[in-house]
Amino acid sequence: MAQERLFPLPDLSGRLAVLGGQLRDRTELCLSLALRQASQNGVVVCLDAHGRQQLEMPFRLLLREDVAYIPLPAEGTVSDDIAQQVLQTLQTGLGRTPSLSPLLIVDGAQETADWEHTLTFFLRTGMVVVEFLPYPSRLVFGRYETTLLLRAEGTEAEAISQTVGRKISAENLAALKPGEGYFIHLSRVYRVRFPEHP
């Protein structure tokens, strides 16, 4: 069962899946993660199939070569050109903060074998990958080291609870406040608050 004390969101590693949340919640989490990474002079790339200006503008305002917002087409296809842009941004920032893993945030990307191979390559380079999953059935056992659950209600909360083995109840998911989530790593569950941003 979850420890109900509220912890700060820990540093991330490997591949993390995010479930739940409305578009606004997901946007806030994207910004929190990106700005935390950028404030530590780390590389961050966001691939977004939703075309959110409220996400794109802060990325553009950072005016750094190692911070990139890359819009995806509405269907979420990640072309070879887009994968190459991610790789170029990663290379630009390598060496600036060697102790901090680069961060790739992905929201709305279409799942394909080619994209999965590309993500595997990025993970092998030490990149942290945060994927916003559109529905709980996309949470593939063994693919993600960590799962972050955002607020959800009704049938969505029930489906998420079932997907994570009832480690968190649907009621607990519905009771989350903005800026909070449940962080599941292996068998441990923590209630966390996301980094604040201006």
pLDDT tens digits for range 37-86? 988 888 899 999 988 788 888 887 876 777 888 999 988 999 999 999 98
Question: What's the DSSP call for residue 187?
Answer: T
| Percent of the chain predicted with pLDDT > 90 | 59
Q: What is the pTM of this model?
A: 0.91
Give me the residue spans of the domains in the chain: 3-193
C-alpha–C-alpha distance, residues 38 and 19, integer Å: 24
Looking at this protein, which amino acid is placed at residue 69?
A: Y
C-alpha–C-alpha distance, residues 142 and 49, integer Å: 25
| pLDDT for the residue 26 | 92
pLDDT in tens, 145-157: 899 999 999 999 9
CB 65 within 8 A of CB 93: yes
CATH class (in words) of the domain with range 3-193: alpha beta
Tokens encoding 195 = 């980094």
| pLDDT for the residue 52 | 79
| pLDDT for the residue 197 | 65
Mean pLDDT to the nearest integer, 88-108: 80
Kind and range of the H or E run holding 29: helix 23-39
| Percent of the chain predicted with pLDDT > 70 | 93
Handedness of CA 109, 114, 116, 119 (dihedral sign): negative
